[in-house]
């Protein structure tokens, strides 16, 4: 769309920015003007940062997380336990688990969940690679950390049925009440599950 | 719970309207086709945050206008709440106390209304789907988790159906993972439905007993589409796997809670087949009366009761059943009628005369 009174390059930038998720045209205009008013150095560094996400990021051939070098930093870290694998849907889930600092094993990123309605079957995910990893490496336990929606649960069932026959311990992350949360504000599904999966003290 | 005030702008046949409402009985009366039901619908919309089922957004906007605005002040246990709804052809925007409401279902049952429309006779006389939906809506108002689980359940069934419909060969496992979800969520759904039916039947017995109709007994029944075992999830799982070959041929899932049969028995007979028009209407009324009691028992508050044109088709004896139910109810009631004098005056009584999109309070 040509905006009257706006040079074409700025108009173009607004157009591109407003394609980003969560960015409307107003916000895009604000951002475009901010970039326009900034130094040329900033504009160059921003554009090269954008380009580099495409040119310099590859997928780790072991865990399929995004990385700059293959194998990735996590897979080549000798201090991490190679006998425990945590399976996640997306790289962002991996980041979240890393932030928890609780997990010192290695990861496997599926890049999605099984959903026939969206045309995604097990063969479209990195499940084959997970199985061959499980057969090849000496793995003692696989922790399934897919989401708790219907597709995440179904994928977890698929994984456990595929991995268990290999004689590897398969576990599912627990559901429960958030730490520091007030019981009265927790939805009944979560609370019900937390009660059913309670622990001895 | 009480709707204290309602304002409308360009809603259906109303150009502009601002009305206070009262505790007790609010009678909306006037000749036919003046807008009585439209006003009742606006009350329903502002409390339930959604219009009558089947109403399209474009129908809610006054002819020739861009948008309609509906605003209500609702008094509930947590104080006075303001609900703003903007309706456009493309969609509705709802705000609760100035905050945008993203998920209506999260607020389901917050301002609970019990609605009685003449077409509600479909609950008794209509198809199985209507009866299942009715039961689920009652469960949902008391257990909000039910709504989410119904959605998840439907999603799992759709996923399974998609697998069943594929032309190429599918592995057993790729179907079983959905069976697992259907069984897990389905068991919770059936559990809640059965619990609700137990309470419903207790209330129905009270309602029929109190109204001197003890010769009539009404019960809600539940028919399983699968062989019931001690473990519901296991029973569903088994039924799904047993039916896999035939489901594969048909391309959809033929067993599970979405195929269970909710029925009403009047004197032990299937009401959908044997009840007369009047009996069916009474049964619906008794169901709603039970629903009110159940809601009050669980939440401690009265819902708002909306009744549209209910006296039509009810003979004198059945009217007394209706009026007794009304007089016992201590919450706020909205009634539409062509003749305000046919509604017995008990307790607080406020009338609103509707004449071609204008409302006169106190007339």
- Strand bridging mode B113-116 / B218-223: unpaired
User: Average model confidence (pLDDT) for chain B?
Assistant: 90
CATH for A66-172? 3.40.1360.10
Distance CA A64, CA A110 (A): 8
Q: Specify the pTM.
A: 0.84
Asked if A138 has any chain B CB less than 8 Å from its own CB, the reply is no
Which pair of tokens denotes residue B134? 């009715």
DSSP state of B161: H
Chain B CB contacts of A122 under 8 Å are: 174
Q: Which pLDDT band, with edges at 50, 70 and 90, does B161 fall under?
A: very high
Helix (H) or strand (E) holding B336: strand B333-337
Of B276, B294, B325, which marks where a domain is finished? B276
DSSP state of B171: -
Which pair of tokens denotes residue B56? 């399209």
Please check whether residues B215 and B263 belong to one and the same domain: yes
Of B245, B276, B307, which marks where a domain is finished? B276
Question: Does A161 contact B177 at a Cβ distance shorter than 8 Å?
Answer: yes
Question: Does A116 contact B163 at a Cβ distance shorter than 8 Å?
Answer: yes
Please check whether residues B268 and B359 belong to one and the same domain: no
Question: Does A158 contact B162 at a Cβ distance shorter than 8 Å?
Answer: no
Chain B CB contacts of A154 under 8 Å are: 156, 159, 177-178, 180-181
Please check whether residues B81 and B140 belong to one and the same domain: no
Residues of chain A with CATH 1.10.8.420: 8-55
Asked if A117 has any chain B CB less than 8 Å from its own CB, the reply is yes
Judge whether B180 lies within some domain.
Answer: yes
Please check whether residues B134 and B84 belong to one and the same domain: no
Question: Does A149 contact B156 at a Cβ distance shorter than 8 Å?
Answer: no
Distance CA B33, CA B261 (A): 37
Q: What does the H/E/C string look like for B131-142?
A: HHHHHHHHHHHH
Q: Which pLDDT band, with edges at 50, 70 and 90, does B335 fall under?
A: very high
Please check whether residues B148 and B246 belong to one and the same domain: yes
Please check whether residues B107 and B173 belong to one and the same domain: no
Please check whether residues B196 and B235 belong to one and the same domain: yes
Please check whether residues B142 and B210 belong to one and the same domain: yes
Distance CA A5, CA B162 (A): 52
Residues of chain A with CATH 3.40.1360.10: 66-172
Judge whether B3 lies within some domain.
Answer: yes
Asked if A116 has any chain B CB less than 8 Å from its own CB, the reply is yes
Asked if A114 has any chain B CB less than 8 Å from its own CB, the reply is yes
**How far A85 CA lies from chain B's nearest CA (Å)?**
22
Question: Does A117 contact B184 at a Cβ distance shorter than 8 Å?
Answer: no
Chain A CB contacts of B163 under 8 Å are: 116
Which pair of tokens denotes residue B98? 């100035």
Radius of gyration of chain A (CA): 22
Please check whether residues B90 and B193 belong to one and the same domain: no
Judge whether B304 lies within some domain.
Answer: no
Please state, in angstroms and as integers, the Cα–Cα distance from residue A94 to each residue in A158, B231, B283, following that order. Answer: 20, 36, 56
- CB neighbourhood size of B139 (10 A): 23
Residues with Cβ within 8 Å of residue B127, at least 6 apart in sequence? none
Predicted local distance difference test score (pLDDT) of residue B212 = 64
- CB neighbourhood size of A77 (10 A): 12
The residue ranges of chain A whose pLDDT is under 70 are 1-3
Range of the domain at B37: 1-111+347-363
pLDDT tens across B31-54, in order? 998 999 999 999 999 999 988 888
Reported ipTM: the value is 0.80
Predicted local distance difference test score (pLDDT) of residue B213 = 61
Q: Render chain A in DSSP notation, one character per residue.
A: -PPTTS-HHHHHHHHHHTTSTT--HHHHHHHHHHHHHS-HHHHHHHHHHHHHHHHS-EE-TTT--EESSSS-TTTT-TTSEEEEEEEESSHHHHHHHHHHT---EEEEE-SS--BGGGTB-GGGTTHHHHHHHHHHS---EEEE---SSHHHHHHHHHHHHHHGGGT-EEEEPPP-PPTT--GGGS-HHHHHHHHHT----
Measured in degrees and rounded to the nearest 5, phi and psi for residue B358 equal: -120, 150
Asked if B176 has any chain A CB less than 8 Å from its own CB, the reply is yes
Helix (H) or strand (E) holding B359: strand B358-361
Residues with Cβ within 8 Å of residue B146, at least 6 apart in sequence? B136, B139, B140, B189, B192
Radius of gyration of chain B (CA): 22
Measured in degrees and rounded to the nearest 5, phi and psi for residue A156 equal: -60, -40
Among candidate residues B248, B92, B98, B80, the one with its CA nearest the CA of residue B175 = B248
Predicted local distance difference test score (pLDDT) of residue A152 = 97
Chain A CB contacts of B177 under 8 Å are: 114, 154-155, 157-158, 161
DSSP state of B299: H
Question: Does A154 contact B156 at a Cβ distance shorter than 8 Å?
Answer: yes
Q: Point out the least confidently predicted range of A40-54, A80-94, B188-202, B213-227.
A: B213-227
- CB neighbourhood size of A163 (10 A): 22
Predicted local distance difference test score (pLDDT) of residue A192 = 85
Distance CA B121, CA B117 (A): 8
Please check whether residues B87 and B139 belong to one and the same domain: no
Mutate to test the interface with B, among A114, A151, A154 (most CBs of B within 10 A): A154
Asked if B178 has any chain A CB less than 8 Å from its own CB, the reply is yes
Mutate to test the interface with B, among A163, A189, A193 (most CBs of B within 10 A): A189
Q: What does the H/E/C string look like for B73-138?
A: EEEECCEEEEEEEEEECCEEEEEECCEECCCHHHHCCCCCEEEECHHHHHHHHCCHHHHHHHHHHH
Predicted local distance difference test score (pLDDT) of residue B285 = 87
Distance CA A200, CA B256 (A): 35
Please state, in angstroms and as integers, the Cα–Cα distance from residue B140 to each residue in A188, A200, B34, B72, B318, following that order. Answer: 12, 33, 34, 23, 30
pLDDT tens across A38-80, in order? 999 999 999 999 999 999 999 999 999 999 999 999 999 999 9
Per-residue pLDDT for B84 more than 90?
yes
CATH code: domain of residue B80: 3.40.50.300
Among candidate residues B35, B12, B3, B24, the one with its CA nearest the CA of residue B359 = B35
Asked if A102 has any chain B CB less than 8 Å from its own CB, the reply is no
Chain B CB contacts of A151 under 8 Å are: 155, 159
Q: How many domains in chain B?
A: 2
Please check whether residues B243 and B156 belong to one and the same domain: yes
Please check whether residues B98 and B170 belong to one and the same domain: no
Question: Does B144 contact A187 at a Cβ distance shorter than 8 Å?
Answer: yes
> If you classify domain A8-55 with CATH, what class do you get?
mainly alpha
CATH code: domain of residue B265: 1.20.1050.90
Partner-chain residue, chosen from B143, B158, B181, that has the shortest CB–CB distance to A154? B181
Q: Render B228-244 in DSSP notation, one character per residue.
A: --SSHHHHHHHHHHHTH
Mutate to test the interface with B, among A113, A115, A116 (most CBs of B within 10 A): A116
Beta bridge partners of A105: A81
> What is the chain A residue with the closest CA to B179?
A154
Predicted local distance difference test score (pLDDT) of residue B131 = 95
CB B313 within 8 A of CB B136: no
Question: Does A153 contact B159 at a Cβ distance shorter than 8 Å?
Answer: no
Distance CA A163, CA A127 (A): 10
pLDDT tens across B302-332, in order? 999 999 987 776 667 777 777 887 888 889 9
pLDDT tens across B106-130, in order? 787 789 999 998 888 899 999 999 9
Chain A CB contacts of B176 under 8 Å are: 157, 161
Question: Does B173 contact A161 at a Cβ distance shorter than 8 Å?
Answer: yes
- CB neighbourhood size of B77 (10 A): 8
> What is the chain B residue with the closest CA to A122?
B174
User: Length of chain A in residues, anyone?
Assistant: 201
For Cα atoms B101, B303, B342, give the angle at the middle one, nearest 5 degrees. Answer: 125
**How far A187 CA lies from chain B's nearest CA (Å)?**
7
Chain B CB contacts of A150 under 8 Å are: 152, 155-156, 159, 181, 185
Of B255, B276, B297, which marks where a domain is finished? B276
Chain A CB contacts of B162 under 8 Å are: 116-117
Asked if B162 has any chain A CB less than 8 Å from its own CB, the reply is yes
> What is the chain B residue with the closest CA to A157?
B177
Residues with Cβ within 8 Å of residue B296, at least 6 apart in sequence? B302, B303
Predicted local distance difference test score (pLDDT) of residue B214 = 56
> What is the chain A residue with the closest CA to B151?
A150
> What is the chain B residue with the closest CA to A190?
B145
**In B243-330, alpha helices (H):** 244-250, 271-274, 277-299, 316-328
Distance CA B325, CA A5 (A): 69
Question: Does B181 contact A157 at a Cβ distance shorter than 8 Å?
Answer: yes
Which pair of tokens denotes residue B190? 């059936």
CB A11 within 8 A of CB A2: yes
């Amino acid at each position: 769309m040509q905006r009257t009174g706006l040079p074409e390059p700025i108009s173009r930038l607004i157009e591109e920015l407003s394609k980003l998720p969560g960015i409307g045209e107003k916000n895009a205009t604000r951002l475009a003007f901010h970039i326009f008013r900034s130094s040329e150095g900033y504009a160059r560094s921003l554009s090269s940062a954008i380009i580099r996400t495409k040119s310099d990021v590859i997928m780790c051939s072991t865990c399929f997380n995004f990385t700059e070098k293959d194998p990735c930093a996590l897979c080549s870290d000798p201090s991490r336990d190679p006998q425990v694998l945590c399976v996640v849907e997306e790289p962002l889930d991996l980041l979240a688990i890393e932030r928890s600092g609780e997990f010192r094993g290695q990861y496997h990123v599926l890049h999605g969940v099984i959903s026939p309605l969206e045309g995604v079957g097990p063969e479209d995910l990195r499940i084959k690679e997970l199985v061959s990893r499980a057969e090849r490496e000496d793995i003692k336990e696989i922790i399934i950390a897919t989401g708790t929606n219907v597709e995440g649960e179904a994928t977890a069932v698929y994984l456990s049925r595929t991995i268990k026959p290999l004689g590897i311990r398969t576990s599912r992350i627990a559901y429960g009440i958030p730490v520091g949360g007030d019981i009265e504000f927790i939805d009944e599904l979560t609370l019900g599950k937390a009660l059913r999966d309670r622990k001895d003290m | 719970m009480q709707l204290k005030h309602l304002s409308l702008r360009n809603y259906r046949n109303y150009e502009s309207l601002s009305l206070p409402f009262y505790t007790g009985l609010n009678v909306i009366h006037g000749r036919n086709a003046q807008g009585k039901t439209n006003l009742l619908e606006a009350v329903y919309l502002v409390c339930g945050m959604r219009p009558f089922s089947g109403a399209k957004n474009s129908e809610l906007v006054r002819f020739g206008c861009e948008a309609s605005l509906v605003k209500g002040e609702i008094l509930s246990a947590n104080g006075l709440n303001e609900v703003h709804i903007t309706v456009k052809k493309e969609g509705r925007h709802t705000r609760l106390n100035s905050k945008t409401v993203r998920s209506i279902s999260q607020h389901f049952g917050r301002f609970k209304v019990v609605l009685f429309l003449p077409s509600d006779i479909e609950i008794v006389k209509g198809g199985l789907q209507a009866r299942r939906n009715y039961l689920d809506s009652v469960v949902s108002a008391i257990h909000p988790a039910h709504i989410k689980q119904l959605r998840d359940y439907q999603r799992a069934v759709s996923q399974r159906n998609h697998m069943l419909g594929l032309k190429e060969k599918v592995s057993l496992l790729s179907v079983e993972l959905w069976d697992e979800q259907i069984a897990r969520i389905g068991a919770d759904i059936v559990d809640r439905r059965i619990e609700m039916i137990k309470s419903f039947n207790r209330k129905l017995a009270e309602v029929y007993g109190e109204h001197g109709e003890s010769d009539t007994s009404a019960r809600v029944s539940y028919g399983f589409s699968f062989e019931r075992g001690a473990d519901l999830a296991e029973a569903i799982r088994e039924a799904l796997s047993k039916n896999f070959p035939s489901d594969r041929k048909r391309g959809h899932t033929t067993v599970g809670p979405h195929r269970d049969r909710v029925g009403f028995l009047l004197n032990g007979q299937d009401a959908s087949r044997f009840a007369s028009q009047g009996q069916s209407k009474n049964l619906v009324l008794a169901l709603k009366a039970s629903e009110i009691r159940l809601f009050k028992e669980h939440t401690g508050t009265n819902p708002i009761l909306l009744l549209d044109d209910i006296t039509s088709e009810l003979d004198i004896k059945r009217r007394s059943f209706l009026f007794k139910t009304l007089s016992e109810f201590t919450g706020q009631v909205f009634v539409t009628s062509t003749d305000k004098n046919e509604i017995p005056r008990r307790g607080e009584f406020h009338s609103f005369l509707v004449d071609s999109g204008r409302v006169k309070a106190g007339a």
